[in-house]
């Protein structure tokens, strides 16, 4: 089995998930990338993210490859979230839809790999973080960075070739595949040449600065949205700093 087969299966999983759940949320063309499970950067996540961050081998003994994927949100969903302090209803719904869809994609890919004789393991799309530290033990963003899907922006999102406005998922498999190269240049304009900082300007909670994200201040804003949209589900989101910014829908030129 090769990478193209996994990409085709990802597309199929998205189509199945969209049809089964009848989501209103629309997505752009996905991206996928692959990391070697023994890439030394995974061990570095214990320092960069959390001392309890898992290694691929913790999820799956004998892991050889980590598969990371990105689902870009359709521009209309991003545009719905441009104005106001609160997230738009479409944005909140997209978050909930994505949690379901990413879970289903993961299970679909796992079953596909297992049907072809390879073991696979995954964690949930979100809400797998420590409630006090607000830090996850399997950061899909950092895993996707290691796989070469993109580079981090000041808004702490992974900026991919199709922007940062979307959702990431990942899984681990025993199938050996060649790792993808990581981009060497910065994608974020501030990190490239000191310009932009549009995401900092747009932050409705004053949680974001060029150097730092105050997670607790940010999450307090997300919880306000959760309370407003509680009829939809657990939509603890905001996302104002990743819409209407140069890195939303594409890598800045």
By the criterion CB under 6 A, which residues form the site for ligand SF4? Answer: 153-155, 188-190, 196-199, 203-205, 207-208, 213, 218, 221, 238-241, 245-247, 252
Min. distance of Cβ 175 from ligand SF4 in angstroms? 33
130 three-state secondary structure: strand
Min. distance of Cβ 52 from ligand SF4 in angstroms? 23
What gap in Å lies between CA 205 and CA 214, rounded to an integer? 9
Nearest residue to 156 (alpha-carbon basis) of 215, 227, 115, 102: 215
Min. distance of Cβ 64 from ligand SF4 in angstroms? 33
Backbone torsions φ then ψ of 32, nearest 5 degrees: -140, 150
Min. distance of Cβ 62 from ligand SF4 in angstroms? 37
Cα angle value 12/81/17 (rounded, 5°): 15
Phi-psi region of 76 (alpha: psi -120 to 50; beta: other; left: phi over 0): alpha
In eight-state DSSP terms, residue 178 is P
The residue among 108 and 215 lying less far from ligand SF4, judged by its C-beta, is 215
- Which residue's Cβ has the minimum distance to ligand SF4? 153
* Burial (Cβ within 10 Å: 0-12, 13-18, ≥19) of residue 118: middle
The residue among 56 and 246 lying less far from ligand SF4, judged by its C-beta, is 246
The residue among 86 and 120 lying less far from ligand SF4, judged by its C-beta, is 86
Burial string for 169-181 (b: 16+ CB within 10 Å, else e) reads bbbbbbbebebbe
The residue among 144 and 247 lying less far from ligand SF4, judged by its C-beta, is 247
Min. distance of Cβ 1 from ligand SF4 in angstroms? 35
The residue among 12 and 234 lying less far from ligand SF4, judged by its C-beta, is 234
């Amino acid at each position: 089995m090769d990478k193209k087969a996994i990409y085709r299966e990802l597309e199929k999983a998205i189509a199945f998930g969209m049809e089964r759940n009848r989501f209103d949320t629309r997505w752009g063309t996905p991206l996928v990338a692959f990391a070697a499970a023994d890439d030394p950067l995974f061990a570095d996540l214990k320092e960069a993210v959390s001392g309890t961050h898992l290694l691929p081998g913790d999820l799956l003994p004998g892991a050889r490859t980590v598969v990371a994927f990105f689902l870009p949100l359709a521009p209309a969903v991003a545009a719905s979230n441009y104005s106001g302090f609160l997230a738009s209803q479409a944005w909140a719904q997209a978050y909930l839809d994505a949690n379901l869809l990413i879970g289903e994609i993961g299970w679909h890919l796992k079953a596909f790999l297992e049907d072809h004789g390879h073991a696979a393991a995954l964690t949930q799309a979100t809400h797998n973080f420590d409630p006090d530290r607000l830090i996850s033990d399997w950061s899909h963003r950092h895993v996707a960075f290691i796989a070469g899907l993109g580079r981090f922006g000041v808004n702490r999102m992974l900026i991919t070739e199709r922007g940062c406005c979307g959702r990431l998922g990942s899984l681990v498999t025993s199938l050996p595949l060649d790792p993808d190269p990581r981009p060497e240049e910065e994608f974020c304009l501030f990190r490239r040449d000191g310009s932009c900082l549009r995401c900092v300007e747009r932050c409705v909670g004053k949680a974001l600065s060029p150097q730092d994200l105050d997670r607790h201040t940010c999450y307090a804003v997300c919880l306000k949205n959760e309370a407003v949209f509680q009829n939809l589900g657990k939509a603890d989101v905001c996302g104002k700093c990743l819409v209407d910014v140069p890195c939303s829908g594409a890598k800045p030129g």
